[in-house]
A = this chain, B = another copy of it.
């Protein structure tokens, strides 16, 4: 009898599990269908790219983006929308930047360059010096002061094409953009030119933040297009001691006030359990910031649109956060975590989309205990929508500071093959975002938020 009752108990449990799965699967489809038929992400992205435009922290365009996304979330029906003030760096590129290499035959050739973000400028006169190529810090060290002093260091380290995940190649090559100027200044270099962090060979220079080493002078730093990096390298093989001139008028102005934009759907059962979802509202100044990270912003806001359209009310509070200043300071992300720490609420989960509006493949998770293992039970339901794995490790720069609160972090991992053709360059424009890919990313994000707001972690 006991055996029989156990049997029926198991059967009931299984069939109730089955019913739940069917129910979830139907809800998944309702959400996806709604995004594909009545989604606003694509048109919101168009607005952000074409009406606001490049949104570097401290710029009028960034302020416009704050105002307009505030309006968007209001109009989509968020329960509350508010602004979180934070001070942000105010770096400006200035009007003029150019570079000329005197090639192996003695002819001046204009290079496709741009100043690196946060770099000091050369001033109107520019700088002119011998350019030397290195492809590692070890090589720089071995050249030492005698080899480097008074020269312009040209870091020419290509992104490794054999890494299937392009972010791995970006991480490896990125150290030269980040630490290169500081390292070169240590040996007395007067300037730095970095090969653009791009997967492809083309004419766009790619900017991005650099940092300085406080023990040494701040020297001007530029990025050169990959095609010109290859060309300069080739010229240097023909003849040593070539002269490079460049001029940049960028400068760091005093900090200004800006904002994170925060919209909420209040939880009906556990309003004090907070689920954060977001992207960063700022972008580099060279383009529209379509993939980086307009896409993440409009995908995040889409949860409000879809929940309101479907009449869904989350059990836990969903907070859409458009972070300011990810690109050159991370002040918005830090401010958000600081305020989160101060409020008496449980920050359960945070999801970021900041890897482009491409077709989704996975979510990455930074989670404790068996959280990831339990979440993985949901993967089969996601597979129908293109996400087929939940991987270990993940989150995003803006939500990173929440980890110290014990928040489980997650990042959307879209296909990475195309990202670094556009990242931080003038071709990161709306035209290069595909509507269906953007929406499919939003679908998966909303599905994950749904799972967590319904079931907790």
A440 within 8 A of B: yes
A417 within 8 A of B: yes
Complex contact B436–A199 (CB within 8 A)? yes
Q: How many interface residues does chain A have, given as a range? A: 20 to 34
- Selected from B162, B200, B384, the residue in CB contact (under 8 A) with A36 is B162
Q: Mark A153-193, 1 if CB is under 8 A from B, else 0.
A: 00000000110101000000000000000000000000000
A170 to chain B, nearest CB (A): 13
Number of copies: 2
Complex Cα–Cα for A434 and B384 (A): 25
Residue of B nearest to A39 (CB): B161
Q: Assuming the A-B contacts A162-B32, A359-B359, are A417 and B388 also in contact, with contact meaning beta carbons closer than 8 angstroms in the complex?
A: no
A329 within 8 A of B: no
Residue of A32, A166, A359, A437 with most partner-chain B CB within 10 A: A359
A20 to chain B, nearest CB (A): 22
Would you list which residues of chain A between 393 and 445 have a CB under 8 Å from chain B?
415, 417-418, 421, 434-437, 440
Would you list which residues of chain A between 189 and 207 have a CB under 8 Å from chain B?
199-200
A419 to chain B, nearest CB (A): 10
A386 within 8 A of B: yes
Residue of B nearest to A420 (CB): B436
Residue of B nearest to A435 (CB): B200
A385 within 8 A of B: yes
Residues of B within 8 A of A386 (CB): 164, 415
A37 within 8 A of B: yes
Complex Cα–Cα for A164 and B440 (A): 8
Residues of B within 8 A of A437 (CB): 417-418
Residue of B nearest to A383 (CB): B389
A48 to chain B, nearest CB (A): 19
- Selected from B37, B166, B417, the residue in CB contact (under 8 A) with A161 is B37
Complex Cα–Cα for A453 and B36 (A): 42
Residue of B nearest to A200 (CB): B435
Residues of B within 8 A of A164 (CB): 32, 384-386, 440
A33 within 8 A of B: yes
Q: A32-B164, A161-B436, A166-B436 are in contact. List 12 more A-B contacts (CB 8 A).
A: A32-B162, A33-B162, A36-B162, A164-B384, A164-B385, A199-B436, A359-B359, A359-B415, A386-B415, A417-B434, A417-B436, A417-B437
Q: Could you write out 17 A-B pairs with CB less than 8 Å apart?
A: A32-B164, A33-B162, A36-B161, A37-B162, A164-B385, A164-B386, A164-B440, A166-B436, A199-B435, A199-B436, A200-B435, A415-B415, A417-B434, A417-B436, A417-B437, A417-B440, A418-B437
Chain A interface residues (CB < 8 Å from chain B): 32-33, 36-37, 161-162, 164, 166, 199-200, 359, 384-386, 388-389, 415, 417-418, 421, 434-437, 440
